[in-house]
Structure 1
Amino acid sequence: MNKSLKAVLFLVASAILTRLIPFSSWFRTLDTMIHEFGHAVVTLLLSGRVLRIELNADHSGTTYSYLSSGWSSVLVSLSGYTIASIFAVLLFYGYAKRKQAAGLILITLLAAVNLLFFVRNSYGVWWLVIFMALNIVFYLLGSTVRNFYYLLLAFLCLEESVVGPLTLAITSLTNPRQAGDAANLAHMTVLPAIAWSVLFLLFALWCTTQSLTLFWRKPARKPAANTSMRTG
């Protein structure tokens, strides 16, 4: 079976399975957080100013920022979906390297940064507080439970990183002006919103194949402790 097709089928199967887990929908805001955080980081790197981030109960989000350069806005609009896809790969890389504990700490630190500096709406603030508390609880429950929880977050991020551009592509066809980042890019470039949506989707699917390759790879073993013996 073609590697890309196998990845898509596995992704569909995992999306169905994870939706059977109670409250899994609530955790999907993690992908939104990473998406909006990506916009914020690139804005700051381009000497812009981030006013605030909003995370909403319907898994949508908005980053309000100020940039003086038009082409800087292009890079910021590109960053959300691409960084979310790359972050999913990073999570599976952590799994392949048996760094689930470190990965969970990283996720929690990112949530803390968003809470302290960017997110200001009430739902977003409470979601971040509860999410960080849950991360701490699962971290303390031991490696077996922690690793399952980490994989759940990784697969939810992976699924959402593909579902987001797919939904964007549909919106680009039915209502291009409401196509979020794709609409912004269409306004600033010669490519229409659907073209940007497809590019986001293709990149997300490529990241999916990389993520699942890491998942299927046998996790690295922890190095054995060195022992020495002196005889005489």
Structure 2
Amino acid sequence: MQTASGAKLNAGRILLLLLFLGAGWYFWDTAALLPLKLLVVMMHESGHAIATLLVGGSVEHITLRLDQSGACLSSLPPGIFRKIFVFSGGYLGSAVVGAGLLLATFRFRLRRWVLGATCVWLGVMGILYARDPFTLAFCVGTSVVLGLAARFLPQGAVDVLNLFLAAFTALYALFDLRDDLWDSSIRSLSDAALLAQHTWVPAIAWAALWTLLGVLLLGWAAYISMHARPASPFSSMSMPSRRF
């Protein structure tokens, strides 16, 4: 199978993506995945923070906890559309990050830049908005680890790490949306419930909308990223050498 641009399906990428998704699912409740879960929670809260800044609000602080909960305390200008945008920024922000990791690594071949940007993002968010020792230590420590990976890992290992991060981010984002959609006890405390209080639209409707958008976005990014771009016809051409 190939796209209109001639990109062909890359079986190796698909197998690796499925392996990572399966491993994440199987080992979901193990302590080994806790740092990755906290990383995605930070993506979620950062989505709220960035959405807040985009609508002209201010962010007071971001908090992470070991139980995988998080909070972004911010002040918003009045307006229902601003609230919808900011409350939607958490779940959809995680999906956007997962899609961005896939596209940046495999479609645009940025590779080390992806890890470098993630390193900078964590460091900046931690320094600017963390107000408790745990959140600050997690952001700075993870930033250092990803920075070292971007600097010293071989290119193939960077690709594998980026694909793993993208797969896990996508899985966590979809699990979050699933819980909001099907578990009423969780949904009653979620962003969807908070937004329902401001819009009179039921929380399950917001959860369903976010799930649909998240699945479509991640599915599209995976489809594009799992296709290898065809080599340029100019890549095999070499310029004749000259001697002066």
TM-score by length of 2: 0.80
**What residue number does 1:191 align with?**
201
Query: How much does 1:181 deviate?
Result: 0.9
Q: 1:128-143 counterparts in 2 under 5 A?
A: 128-139=139-150, 140-143=152-155
How do 1:126-205 and structure 2 match up within 5 A? Answer: 126-139=137-150, 140-171=152-183, 173-174=184-185, 176-178=187-189, 180-205=190-215
**Cross-structure match for 1:43:** 52
Alpha-carbon shift at residue 107 of structure 1 (Å): 0.8
Match of 2:23 in 1: 17
The 5-angstrom pairing of residues 99-138 of structure 1 reads 99-138=110-149
> 2 CA distance for matches of 1:34 and 1:167?
18
Aligned mates of 2:227, 2:153 — CA distance in 1:
26
Task: Measure, in 1, the Cα distance between the counterparts of 2:104 and 2:137.
Answer: 27
Post-superposition, which runs of at least 4 consecutive aligned residues in structure 1 deviate over 4 A?
10-13, 19-22, 219-226
State the alpha-carbon separation in 2 of the partners of residues 175 and 111 from structure 1. 27
Q: Secondary structure at the match of 1:28?
A: helix
Q: Which residue identity lines up with residue 41 of structure 1 in the other structure?
A: I
8 Å contact from structure 2 (residues 102, 162) kept in 1: no
Alignment match, 1:31: 40
Structure-1 residue corresponding to 2:220: 210
1:205 partner amino acid: V
Contact kept, 8 Å, 1:98 with 1:220, in 2: the verdict is: no
In structure 2, the gaps of 5 or more residues are 1-15
1:43-122 mapped onto 2 (5 Å cutoff): 43-71=52-80, 72-96=82-106, 97-122=108-133
Shift of 1:69: 0.6
Name the SS for the 2:98 alignment partner: helix
Per-residue deviation, 1:101: 0.7
Deviations 1:157-214 (A, max 9, x none): 111121111111133x236531x21011110113101111111111111122112213
RMSD: 2.7
Q: 1:166 to 1:151 in 2, by over 3 A?
A: same
Paired-residue identity, %: 22
Is 106-115 or 130-139 further displaced after alignment?
A: 130-139
Q: Is the 8 A contact 2:180 2:187 kept in 1?
A: no
Once residues 12 and 226 of structure 1 are traced to their aligned partners in structure 2, the CA distance between those partners, rounded to angstroms, is 38
1:80: Cα distance to partner?
1.3
Do 2:180 and 2:186's aligned partners in 1 also have CA atoms closer than 8 Å? no
Aligned length: 221
How many angstroms apart in 1 are the aligned matches of 2:231 and 2:148?
26
SS in 2 for 1:197: helix
What TM-score do you get using the length of structure 1 for normalisation? 0.84
- AA in 1 matched with 2:136: V
User: SS at the partner of 1:209?
Assistant: helix
CA distance in 1, matches of 2:238, 2:130: 47
Mapped to 2, the partners of 1:212 and 1:22 lie a distance apart of: 27
Structure 1 segments unaligned to the other structure (5+ residues): 1-9
Structure 1 pair 25/214, CA: closer, same or farther in 2 (3 Å)? farther
**For the residues of structure 1 that align with 2:43 and 2:119, how far apart are their CA atoms?**
12
Do 1:52 and 1:63's aligned partners in 2 also have CA atoms closer than 8 Å?
yes
Give yes or no for contact 2:177–2:210 (8 Å, CA) kept in 1. Answer: yes
